[in-house]
C-alpha cells in the first residue's frame, strides 16, 4: 500500500538525466550504417557524461548503444560509471562499486539481462543508497534506499514472492505464484462452505459454537472477513492469467505495421531529415529524445527540464489531430470501426494511476468491437489497448485486489481506513487458522507417538 518493490520510475529517471545541446550529433543512419538493424522497436538519444549516445533496440530485442558524435560503440568503465552516477544522483558520499555478472535481489527481472555486466554502487550516505547502472547503455537501472529495502522485505518481496533465486526464473516464478494462489483459493472456499454449514446449527451458548476459543475466533472472523480474503486470493490468482484468456494490451505485429504505415528503419533518419530536426531544436538544452514512427513519418519527443515537445523530422510545420489517429485505428480492421474519439483530461476507469504518474491529456478511441485505444499525443504512440477481457481483468484484479473503485481510491484516507480494517480482520483470520493447523498437527503427532509406544510395549 505504501512501499512497493523499489524501482526507478519514469519521472524520477528523467529528472536525474543530464542536460545537453545538439552540437555535433550525427544522424542515426550514419551512426548505425554498419550494423544489421532491420526494424526499429525503440530509438532514443541521451547524454552520458556530457556526450550524446544513441540507444537502439531492434524488433528482435537486440540492443545497440553508440556515441552520437563519432559513431563508435559505447561501453562504460567502472570509473566512468561512478562519475555518471554521481552526476545524475548528486550523491557525493564515499562509495564502493561492484561489477555484477548476474542479476541480484534488487534487479531480479529478466529485462535487465541485456544490460549485464551491471555496476552496483553502494553509497555511504545517510540513506545507504544503492544504484545500479548499465555498462552497455550507461543508463541508471535502479535506485533504492535502506528504508525502501527494509519495507520491501516486510511487504512487497514476500507478497509477490520476489526472492531473487525464484524471480529470475520467469516460468518457475509464475507457476509457483499461480499454484499457490489456486490452492489458497480452494482452501478458503472450503473454509467458507464449512462455516456456512456450521452456521445452520444452533450454538449451545451465545457466540460459542465451539468449546475451543480459537475455533470461535476463527469461525466468527471467517464469517465476515472470509469473503474478502477469498476475493483477494482469487484476484491475485487471476492477475497471473492462469488460463491464458487475456489478450495483449499492446498492438500485434499487423496492427503496428498499420499504425506506422511502413516499417520503422534507420532510412528515415537521413542527413536531410536529421539536419532539419537539429535546426528545430537548435541551441536548446534537452535531457532525452525519444523517436517514434507514425503513418510513414518519424517523430521526436524532446524532453526538456520540465516540459516536452513533439517534432516531426523533415518538416517543422505539421498538424496531428484526433482525426489523424482515428484514421489509423480504422485501418486495423474493416469490422472494427471507430464509434467514439475524445481527448481525456482526467483518468477514467481503465486508464488511471493512484499515484497520478500517467500522462494526461490522453486520446481515447473506442471501436464497435468494444476495444478501447489510449494514445499519448506527446509521443504519437498507443500506450494501452483495452479489450473486453482486459476490462473484466481490471475489475477482477485491481478492483477486488486493491479496491481501486473510484469512490474509494480517490478518497484518501477513506481507502486506507477501509483496507486497514479489512486487512486486520484477514490477518487475525489467517493467524488463527495457522494456530489451529499447528495444534491439529501436534495432536496427530502425539497420537501417532502413543500408538507406536503401545505397539512397542505389546
Domain boundaries, the chain: 10-165, 169-246+411-458, 319-408
Q: How far is CA 412 from CA 2, 202, 230, 347, 421, in A?
A: 13, 41, 25, 17, 14
Kindly state the average pLDDT of the residues 372-391: 96
Looking at per-residue confidence, does 13 or 455 come out higher? 13
209 pLDDT band (50/70/90 cuts)? Answer: low
Residue among 324, 261, 300 nearest 54 (CA): 300
Element (H, E) at 130: strand 130-134
- Is residue 124's pLDDT more than 90? yes
Angle at the Cα of 422 from the Cα atoms of 420 and 425, rounded to 5 degrees: 105
Q: What is the pLDDT of residue 200?
A: 66
Query: Which pTM value belongs to this model?
Result: 0.88
Torsional class of 241: left (φ above 0), alpha (ψ -120 to 50), beta (otherwise)? left
- The band of 315, judged by pLDDT with boundaries at 50, 70 and 90, is confident
Mean pLDDT of the 168-183 span: 93
Region 104-127 average pLDDT? 95
pLDDT at 241 over 90: no
Nearest CA to 238 among 192, 182, 157?
182
CA distance 92 to 95: 8
Average pLDDT value for residue range 343-369: 92
Q: Give the pLDDT of residue 155.
A: 92
| Choices 1.25.40, 1.10.540, 3.10.450, 2.60.40: CATH for 319-408 | 3.10.450
Cβ contacts of residue 26 below 8 Å, gap of 6+?
68, 69, 70, 71, 274
The residues pairing with 367 across neighbouring beta strands, listed in sequence order, are: 338
Q: Using an 8 Å Cβ cutoff, are 54 and 43 in contact?
A: yes
Q: What's residue 202's pLDDT?
A: 64
Contact 86, 70 (CB under 8 A): no
pLDDT number for residue 208: 64
C-alpha cell at 352: 488511471
CB atoms within 10 A of CB 165: 11
Helices and strands of the chain, counted as H and E runs: 15, 14
Q: What is the mean pLDDT of the chain?
A: 90
Beta pairing, strands 118-123 & 338-344: unpaired
pLDDT of 358 strictly over 70? yes
The tens digit of pLDDT for each residue in 67-92 reads 999 999 998 999 999 999 999 999 99
Classify strands 63-67 and 95-100 as parallel, antiparallel or unpaired. unpaired
Give the rounded percent of residues in the chain with a pLDDT score beyond 70. Answer: 97
* Mean pLDDT in residue range 37-50: 94
Phi and psi at 32, nearest 5°, equal: -105, 20
What b-and-e string marks burial along 225-239, b requiring 16 or more CB atoms within 10 Å of the CB?
Answer: bbebbbbbbbbbbbb
CA distances from 417 to 1, 230, 288, 424, 428 (A): 12, 20, 41, 11, 17
**pLDDT tens digits, one per residue of 242-279:** 888 889 999 999 999 999 999 999 999 988 899 989 98
Amino acid at each position: 500500500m505504501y512501499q512497493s518493490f523499489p524501482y526507478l520510475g519514469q519521472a524520477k529517471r528523467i529528472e536525474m538525466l543530464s542536460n545537453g545541446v545538439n552540437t555535433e550529433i550525427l544522424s542515426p543512419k550514419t551512426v548505425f550504417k554498419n550494423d544489421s538493424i532491420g526494424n526499429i522497436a525503440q530509438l532514443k538519444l541521451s547524454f552520458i557524461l556530457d556526450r550524446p549516445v544513441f540507444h537502439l533496440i531492434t524488433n528482435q530485442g537486440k540492443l545497440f548503444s553508440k556515441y552520437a558524435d563519432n559513431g563508435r560503440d559505447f561501453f562504460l568503465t567502472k570509473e566512468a560509471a561512478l562519475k555518471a552516477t554521481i552526476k545524475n544522483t548528486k550523491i557525493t558520499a564515499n562509495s564502493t562499486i561492484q561489477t555484477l555478472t548476474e542479476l541480484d535481489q534488487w534487479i531480479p527481472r529478466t529485462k535487465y539481462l541485456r544490460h549485464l555486466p551491471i555496476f552496483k554502487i553502494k553509497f555511504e550516505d545517510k540513506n545507504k543508497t544503492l544504484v545500479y547502472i548499465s555498462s552497455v547503455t550507461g543508463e541508471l537501472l535502479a535506485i533504492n534506499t535502506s528504508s525502501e529495502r527494509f519495507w520491501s522485505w516486510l511487504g512487497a518481496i514476500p507478497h509477490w514472492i520476489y526472492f531473487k533465486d525464484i524471480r529470475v526464473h520467469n516460468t518457475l516464478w509464475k507457476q509457483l505464484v499461480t499454484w499457490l494462489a489456486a490452492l489458497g483459493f480452494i482452501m478458503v472456499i472450503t473454509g467458507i462452505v464449512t462455516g456456512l454449514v456450521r452456521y445452520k446449527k444452533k450454538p449451545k451458548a451465545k457466540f460459542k459454537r465451539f468449546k475451543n476459543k480459537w475455533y470461535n475466533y476463527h469461525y466468527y472472523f471467517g464469517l465476515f472477513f472470509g469473503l474478502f480474503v477469498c476475493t483477494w486470493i482469487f484476484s491475485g490468482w487471476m492477475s497471473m492469467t492462469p488460463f491464458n484468456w487475456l489478450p495483449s494490451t499492446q498492438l500485434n505485429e499487423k496492427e503496428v505495421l498499420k499504425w506506422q504505415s511502413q516499417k520503422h528503419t534507420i532510412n528515415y533518419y537521413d542527413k536531410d531529415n536529421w539536419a532539419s530536426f537539429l535546426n528545430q531544436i537548435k541551441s536548446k538544452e534537452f535531457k532525452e529524445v525519444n523517436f517514434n514512427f507514425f503513418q510513414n513519418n518519424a517523430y521526436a519527443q524532446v524532453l526538456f527540464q520540465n516540459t516536452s515537445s513533439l517534432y516531426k523530422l523533415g518538416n517543422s510545420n505539421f498538424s496531428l489531430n484526433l482525426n489523424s489517429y482515428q484514421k489509423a485505428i480504422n485501418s486495423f480492421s474493416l469490422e472494427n470501426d471507430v464509434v467514439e474519439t475524445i481527448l481525456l483530461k482526467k483518468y477514467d476507469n481503465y486508464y488511471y494511476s493512484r499515484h497520478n504518474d500517467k500522462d494526461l491529456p490522453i486520446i481515447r478511441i473506442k471501436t464497435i468491437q468494444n476495444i478501447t485505444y489510449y494514445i499519448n499525443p506527446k509521443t504519437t504512440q498507443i500506450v494501452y489497448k483495452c479489450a473486453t477481457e482486459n476490462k473484466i481483468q481490471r475489475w477482477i484484479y485491481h478492483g477486488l485486489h486493491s479496491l481501486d473503485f473510484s469512490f474509494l481510491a480517490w478518497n484518501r484516507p477513506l481507502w486506507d481506513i477501509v483496507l486497514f480494517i479489512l486487512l486486520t480482520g484477514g490477518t487475525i483470520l489467517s493467524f488463527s487458522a495457522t494456530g489451529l493447523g499447528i495444534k491439529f498437527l501436534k495432536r496427530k503427532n502425539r497420537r501417532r507417538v502413543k500408538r507406536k509406544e503401545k505397539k512397542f510395549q505389546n
